[in-house]
C-alpha cells in the first residue's frame, strides 16, 4: 500500500545465466554471498531460500542515498519492491509521457545485488496523476488509456521483474467492489482486462491481485476467492494473490491466515505476503515488542506451511522509513529493525521461524 511515503520496468535478458541472476537463481544473491563469508551469520534471505522462498523488503528512491541502510538492504534480502517509483503518478505523469527513472534506479540496484524485483503497481485507485482524475472519461477513452499504461510499463520492465501487482485494492471491507474511476467507467471487467493486457506484454511474468485486510477469512478475502475462481474458469491469466499483511497489535492476529493461504493454493494460485509490517500504539514497550515478535514468527510459519506461499516482503525493513507514523498518528515501531538500523525482537523471531525445519504442503 504506501502512499507518497505508501503501497505501490523490463528488457529481454539474454542467456540462462542472466535469467537465473534476475529471477532468483540459486547461484546468485545473498545465498551465494553467504558461501563467500564463512563464519558469518546467514541472512533472512539465505534462510528463506532453504525453504524455496524469498525474503524481501520494499524500498523507495529517497532512501537509497542512505549508505548504511542500502548496505543492509543489499545484504539481508534477495527481493525488492519499489514502494512508489512504479506507481502511475511516477511512471506516466503526463498522458502518454512515460518516466521510468525511479523504477529503473531500484531495478538497477537490485540487479547489482542479485536480487529480484516485484513490480508494484499497475492499477490502483490512489496516487493517480491529476490528468487522469481531473476529468470525465468515456469507456472507450479510459480503456485505451489503461491498456496503453499497462502494456507500456510491462514491456519496459519485461525480463526485469518476476511478478506484478496488476490490480491493487479492488474491494471494500464488505467484499463489494471499491468505487474507483476504473470501476465507474469500465465496470468490474477492468480487472480481467488488466490481467490480459499485462500477460500480452510479458507472457512470462507472474500476475497478482494485491490487497490489505485479506489475511483472515472473511467478506473481503471471500470476494477475492470468488473472483479468482471466476477468472480461472474463464482462463484469465492470474497467477497469485498478494496478502499485504499490514497488521496492528490492537486488532488481534489473523488466526486463519494459514488456512486462507491454503484455500487460494487449492485454486492453483501462488500467494505471497507482500507488504508486511506489524504496528503498535506508541510508546513501544518490551511486552508489545515481544508480542510483535510472536506475530512475525507466526506469519512466517504460516507462509512456510503452505507450499505455494512463495515469499515474504517487509514494507521496508526499518522504522526509520516506515509509512505508519504519517498515516496512523500515535502508532509505529512496526518493523524488525529500529530507526538506528538495530535488530529488534521481531528480527530474531523471523530468524527462528526460518531456521525451523518444515515441509510446506
Catalytic residues: 169, 275
Cα separation of 44 and 55, whole Å? 6
| Pick from 157, 164, 93, 81: nearest CA to 128 | 93
Contact indicator for 84, 59 with CB cutoff of 8 Å = no
Burial 300-339 (b: 16+ CB within 10 A, else e): bbbbbbbebbbbbbbbbbbbbbbbbbeebeebbbbbbbbe
* Residue the block writes with cell 485486510: 213
For residue 114, the 8-state DSSP code is T
Cα separation of 59 and 105, whole Å? 11
Contact indicator for 82, 316 with CB cutoff of 8 Å = no
Looking from the CA of 271 toward its CB, the CA atoms found within 13 Å total 34
Angle of helix 190-201 relative to helix 139-156, nearest 10 degrees, comes to: 30
Amino acid at each position: 500500500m504506501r502512499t507518497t511515503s505508501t503501497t505501490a520496468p523490463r528488457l529481454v535478458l539474454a542467456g540462462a545465466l542472466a535469467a537465473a541472476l534476475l529471477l532468483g537463481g540459486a547461484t546468485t544473491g545473498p545465498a551465494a554471498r553467504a558461501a563467500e563469508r564463512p563464519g558469518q551469520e546467514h541472512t533472512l534471505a539465505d534462510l528463506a531460500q532453504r525453504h524455496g522462498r524469498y525474503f524481501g523488503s520494499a524500498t523507495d528512491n529517497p532512501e537509497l542515498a542512505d549508505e548504511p541502510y542500502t548496505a543492509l538492504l543489499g545484504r539481508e534480502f534477495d527481493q525488492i519492491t519499489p514502494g512508489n517509483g512504479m506507481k502511475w503518478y511516477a511512471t506516466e505523469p503526463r498522458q502518454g509521457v512515460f518516466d521510468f527513472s525511479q523504477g529503473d534506479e531500484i531495478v538497477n540496484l537490485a540487479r547489482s545485488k542479485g536480487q529480484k524485483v516485484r513490480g508494484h503497481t499497475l492499477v490502483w485507485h490512489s496516487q493517480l496523476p491529476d490528468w487522469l482524475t481531473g476529468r470525465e472519461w468515456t469507456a472507450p477513452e479510459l480503456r485505451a488509456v489503461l491498456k496503453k499504461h499497462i502494456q507500456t510499463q510491462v514491456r519496459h520492465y519485461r525480463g526485469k521483474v518476476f511478478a506484478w501487482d496488476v490490480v491493487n485494492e479492488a474491494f471494500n471491507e464488505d467484499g463489494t467492489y471499491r468505487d474507483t474511476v476504473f470501476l465507474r467507467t469500465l465496470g468490474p471487467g477492468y480487472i480481467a482486462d488488466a490481467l490480459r493486457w499485462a500477460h500480452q506484454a510479458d507472457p512470462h511474468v507472474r500476475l497478482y491481485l494485491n490487497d490489505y485486510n485479506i489475511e483472515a477469512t472473511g467478506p473481503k478475502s471471500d470476494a477475492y476467492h470468488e473472483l479468482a475462481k471466476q477468472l480461472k474458469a474463464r482462463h484469465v491469466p492470474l497467477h497469485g494473490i498478494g496478502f499485504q499483511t499490514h497488521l496492528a497489535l490492537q486488532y488481534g492476529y489473523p488466526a486463519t491466515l494459514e488456512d486462507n493461504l491454503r484455500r487460494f493454493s487449492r485454486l492453483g494460485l501462488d500467494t505471497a505476503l507482500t507488504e508486511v509490517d506489524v504496528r503498535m500504539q506508541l510508546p513501544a514497550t518490551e511486552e508489545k515488542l515481544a508480542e510483535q515478535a510472536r506475530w512475525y514468527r507466526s506469519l512466517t510459519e504460516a507462509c512456510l506451511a503452505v507450499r505455494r506461499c512463495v515469499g515474504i516482503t517487509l514494507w521496508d525493513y526499518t522504522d526509520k522509513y516506515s509509512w505508519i507514523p504519517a498515516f496512523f498518528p500515535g502508532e509505529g515501531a512496526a518493523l524488525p529493525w529500529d530507526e538506528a538500523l538495530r535488530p529488534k525482537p521481531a528480527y530474531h523471531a523471523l530468524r527462528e521461524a526460518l531456521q525451523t525445519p518444515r515441509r510446506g504442503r
